[in-house]
Structure 1
Amino acid sequence: MSQYRRLLLILESVARPSSALSRASALAEASGAAIHIVTCGGPYSTVWLMDKAVQEHMHVDFMKGQEAHLKEVAEPLRAKGLQVTTEVLWTEDPVGELIRHVKELPADLVIKDTHHEPALKRAFMTPLDWQLLRECPVPVNLVTFAEQPLPRKVVAAVDLSQPESQIGGVNERILAAANDLALQSNAELHLLHAYENSPAYLTYAAGPVGWSKELQDELTGLLRANFNQFAEKHGVPEKRRHVVLGSPIRVISDFAGREHMDVVVMGTLNRKGLEKVLGSTAEQALYQVPSSILAVRPPTEG
């Protein structure tokens, strides 16, 4: 059964090898989904200083060049029998335009490259990446590399330290998105929860109490029981359940590298104030996790 009907692939305006293209092509072949490929450009911040004729010339040149580029990209995919459409967007609001496309197509999954910088062991995120993580209503796969264009191992990184009702059902959405991708790719599905032994992280206590080793062990036991109950509910085999002590970013990064995960599925929330500046766990993970990220927002947001 197909998990996807339409994929939205966002390509950069500069032609270069694209792992996101490989991922989209492989998923489309596996699912029969159509691919809509877009590339975005727009006026520079100083364009108002330019003559109107120069502005129009820039616009026309960009559109012609990108249309030719996308035609070249699409032809090999169509030769495989895939349904592919292309579009060049010239806009001052790329995020708004892309979100509108997601809703109008409608798209089931957005796929985009995020470049890995080997020397720094970091991913390079554009402002567009950050905004898509925060605002896109469907899962977003930011691909740093695709040694396996069709994922072979997928891990859902959940946070069960808070009641599901308080975080908008995001854990359910994370696992659903991970399961969709795993089913479509015939990949192994793993479930991971990282936890820290601190009163702020484990929220099961009914009220203010002394923080002793006995209480710590009791709360950890409750968390593990809750995790296993969640895994049982969704049919995750015991050998693919992982509860690991440590900070979420470090645990997820180490686990993804050690277990050779192709995709880590995580939740992201709209942030305000200081939290928005610091970024969500998913946003920070892009700098450290040695695999692609599939980011999911809770259904209650926007």
Structure 2
Amino acid sequence: MSAYNNVLVVLDPSVEQQKALNRAIELIRLQGGKLTAFLSVYDFSYEMTTMLSGEERESMRQAVIKDREMWISELTERYRAAGLNIVIKVVWHSRPFEAIVHAVLEDNYDLVIKGTHDHDVLKSMIFTPTDWHVLRKCPCPVLLVKDHDWPQGGNIIAAVNAGSEQEHHLSLNQRVIAKAMQMATMLSAKTHLVNAFPGTPVNIAIEIPEFNPQEYNSTMKHHHADAVTALAKQFDIDSQHCHVMEGMPEDVLPQIASKLDAEMVVIGTIGRTGLSAAIIGNTAEHVIDRLDCDVLAVKPANFVCPLQKD
């Protein structure tokens, strides 16, 4: 049984190198399954052409869709000729992230693969990029592809929050590790657990003279280390592949990923939306821009897509 039987890959006609498609082909070759090559297209001028009837506008939309289908057909022809199960899906939609999520809800894809660009930090705080929306709202795992290769015998990182006692974190840790090990098995890679823990709060050290920051740090580190060790034992992961470091996840994860030359980081994302997302953001999103390897984002078991129809 393959890890992902029904995969959606999002294409990008604005770039020459279709790295998401290349990665999706690699995955399908490794594990089989069906691959849907997906593209969302839209031209606002077609909607505003008042001189045309509704029927004529629809005819123009269909012509654009047909043109894009032919482009994808040419892109995938040699892979289909080699026997890979690839279907083509082009939709007319003004919001690409909604088109992707609706496709997942309609056709029950169990993985979305998408190329990602580096995001300008300031712009990201004002305009949420498509892949951030997909991360927050897509009910299935999302693989955001960068340029790092997938070498056999490499390293895959499972980013865990082992020190938390909250049920949703405990459950998400289990899902993240399971997905990381699944990928590691497929790629003959090693699974590493990485856990970041917060340093001493400066305000406490200043306000409470008797507070001992060294003791606090030592206690925190041991608490997180013990929790990571317990997780490693549960999944039969070598203790040498456990990494517990002080700092924020967005600092620690890229540092260890670079040190290990990891090909993938698997991370849990709670899918925060609305005002809290705009102000706080999600750890997964902060991490993605600072990694030069793929990121597999996994949702909690009880995640409810905000675009899901009642």
Interval of TM-score (by shorter of Structure 1 and Structure 2) = 0.7 to 0.9
* Partner residue, 1:190: 192
Identify the match of residue 88 of structure 1 among 84, 90, 94: 90
What does 1:281-296 align with in structure 2 at a 5 Å threshold? 281-296=283-298
User: Does residue 221 of structure 1 match 2:222?
Assistant: yes
More helix by share: 2
* Partner residue, 2:137: 135
Task: Please report the RMSD computed on the Cα atoms of aligned residues, expressed in angstroms.
Answer: 2.8
Deviates further, 142-151 or 103-112? 142-151
Query: How far does residue 37 in structure 1 lie from its aligned partner after superposition?
Result: 0.9
Separation in structure 2 between the aligned mates of residue 116 and residue 219 of structure 1, nearest angstrom? 33
Per-residue CA shift, 1:75-109, capped at 9, x if unaligned? 11112221111111112343333223223432221
Query: How far does residue 73 in structure 1 lie from its aligned partner after superposition?
Result: 1.7
Q: 1:280 to 1:235 in 2, by over 3 A?
A: same
What does 1:1-302 align with in structure 2 at a 5 Å threshold? 1-14=1-14, 16-44=16-44, 48-51=47-50, 53=52, 55-56=57-58, 58-116=60-118, 127-148=129-150, 152-167=154-169, 169-198=171-200, 210=211, 212-271=213-272, 272-302=274-304
Per-residue CA shift, 1:107-146, capped at 9, x if unaligned? 22110111358xx99xx99722011100111110110214
Separation in structure 2 between the aligned mates of residue 149 and residue 73 of structure 1, nearest angstrom? 24
Contact 2:200-2:216 at 8 Å conserved across structures: no
Contact 2:148-2:263 at 8 Å conserved across structures: yes
Separation in structure 2 between the aligned mates of residue 40 and residue 210 of structure 1, nearest angstrom? 56
Partner amino acid, structure 2, of 1:128: T
Query: How far does residue 26 in structure 1 lie from its aligned partner after superposition?
Result: 0.8
Contact 1:30-1:184 at 8 Å conserved across structures: yes
Number of equivalences: 290
Separation in structure 1 between the aligned mates of residue 23 and residue 168 of structure 2, nearest angstrom? 34
Partner amino acid, structure 2, of 1:217: S
* SS class of match (2:261): coil
Query: How far does residue 162 in structure 1 lie from its aligned partner after superposition?
Result: 1.6
Q: 1:149 to 1:11 in 2, by over 3 A?
A: farther
Q: 1:193 to 1:52 in 2, by over 3 A?
A: farther
Query: How far does residue 291 in structure 1 lie from its aligned partner after superposition?
Result: 1.1
* SS class of match (1:169): helix
Per-residue CA shift, 1:165-189, capped at 9, x if unaligned? 0437211121122122112222221
Deviates further, 65-74 or 271-280? 271-280
Q: 1:107 to 1:274 in 2, by over 3 A?
A: closer
Task: Give 5+ residue unaligned stretches, structure 1.
Answer: 201-208
Separation in structure 1 between the aligned mates of residue 118 and residue 97 of structure 2, nearest angstrom? 22
Query: How far does residue 4 in structure 1 lie from its aligned partner after superposition?
Result: 1.9
Contact 1:189-1:236 at 8 Å conserved across structures: yes
Query: How far does residue 265 in structure 1 lie from its aligned partner after superposition?
Result: 0.9
* SS class of match (1:35): strand
Partner amino acid, structure 2, of 1:231: A
Per-residue CA shift, 1:238-293, capped at 9, x if unaligned? 12111122221111111111211111111112324244344211111121112111
Query: How far does residue 15 in structure 1 lie from its aligned partner after superposition?
Result: 5.2
Query: How far does residue 211 in structure 1 lie from its aligned partner after superposition?
Result: 5.1
Partner amino acid, structure 2, of 1:230: L
* SS class of match (2:245): strand
Separation in structure 2 between the aligned mates of residue 15 and residue 88 of structure 1, nearest angstrom? 17
Query: How far does residue 52 in structure 1 lie from its aligned partner after superposition?
Result: 5.3
Separation in structure 2 between the aligned mates of residue 296 and residue 67 of structure 1, nearest angstrom? 30
Query: How far does residue 12 in structure 1 lie from its aligned partner after superposition?
Result: 1.5
TM-score for the superposition, normalised by structure 2: 0.83
Deviates further, 265-274 or 236-245? 265-274
Partner amino acid, structure 2, of 1:80: A
Contact 1:155-1:265 at 8 Å conserved across structures: yes
* SS class of match (2:157): strand
Task: Give 5+ residue unaligned stretches, structure 2.
Answer: 203-209, 305-310
TM-score for the superposition, normalised by structure 1: 0.85
Contact 1:10-1:37 at 8 Å conserved across structures: yes
Contact 2:224-2:244 at 8 Å conserved across structures: no
* Partner residue, 2:308: none
* SS class of match (1:290): coil
Query: How far does residue 6 in structure 1 lie from its aligned partner after superposition?
Result: 1.5
